[in-house]
Structure 1
Amino acid sequence: MVQTEDRQQDASLAELLQRATEQTQTLVRQELRLAQLELREKGRRAGAGAGLFGAAGLTALFGVGALVAAAIIGLATALDAWLAALIVGAALLALSGVMALTGKGQVQRATPPVPEQATESVRADVDEVKERVHDR
């Protein structure tokens, strides 16, 4: 009778383990489905946000064009229109040159795209481990 009880306990333990495994698998599948749905929704929102950013940039470009036209028209009250346009155009080209040189400097400082501090830290860690291994 004791053996029968042990077998029943073993069988019930096996059943419990099987149920736990099945429930864990089901839970993992459900969590993955939830994650997929959540990522899909976030992707839609990110796409809409990116579209709005693009539209904002295009609208800003038109606004800058209108301001440039206003600057030319404003200068044209004191100068000939062609001279006003030439002055505003030259100022815009000078500004774009300064921005290009500044951007070039920023890009040069960012290259090569290697995390130098992290690389140095890892090298120091490796050297420390090598040192301790050789000391033993």
Structure 2
Amino acid sequence: MNPETNPAASPTANASLGELLSQLSTQTSRLVRDEIRLAQKEFQDSARHAGVGAGLISVAGLLAVFGLLTLIAAAVAALSLVLPVWAAALIVGAVLLVIAGIAALVSRRQLEQVTPAAPETVTSVKKDIDEVKGAAHVRS
């Protein structure tokens, strides 16, 4: 007879509790190993995509810097049509320094508003720790 049509003929139908627990342990171990292998494969795929993405972002950033430098050189060249080259470079450099100074001041204001830690989270974690300590002392 076929085990699917006759439950008494299945390998687990006549198995002892010890055998069933052994099978459960074996199957659980196999399931955990399979899940870990799947997670590793998914992580590798994700890491590969992240690496490619990070590389492309780096290339884009580098090209953006080159583009900005080219625009700065074009600004110097355009000003050099009406001024000496040294004066054109001086003016463009001064404008860039003013923009950098403004950016530094804005970033400083933003950094002053940063809190050192998430105060609500710290308070909540401290409260949880105190409650766990209190519960541990009550049980002792």
TM-score under structure 1 length normalisation: 0.74
Which residue of 81, 88, 91 corresponds with 1:84? 88
Shift in CA distance, 34/106, structure 1 to aligned 2, threshold 3 Å: same
| SS state at 1:60 partner | helix
> Is residue 118 of structure 2 the alignment partner of residue 115 of structure 1?
yes
* Identity in percent: 47
In the superposition, relative to structure 1, how do residues 123 and 72 fare at CA in structure 2: closer, same or farther (>3 Å)? same
What 5-or-longer segments of structure 1 have no aligned partner?
1-8, 130-136
CA–CA distance in structure 2, aligned partners of residues 15 and 126 of structure 1: 43
> Any idea what the Cα deviations from partners look like across 1:36-93, whole Å, max 9, x if unmatched?
1211221122112111111111111100000001111122222222211111110001
The equivalent residue for 1:3 is none
Segments of 5+ residues of structure 2 without an aligned counterpart are 1-12, 132-140
Q: Distance in 1 between matches of 2:109 and 2:78?
A: 35
C-alpha RMSD of matched pairs (Å): 2.5
Q: How far did residue 109 of structure 1 move? A: 2.2
Aligned: 1:12 with 2:16: yes
Moved >6 Å (runs of 4+): 124-127
Task: Tell me the matched-pair count.
Answer: 120
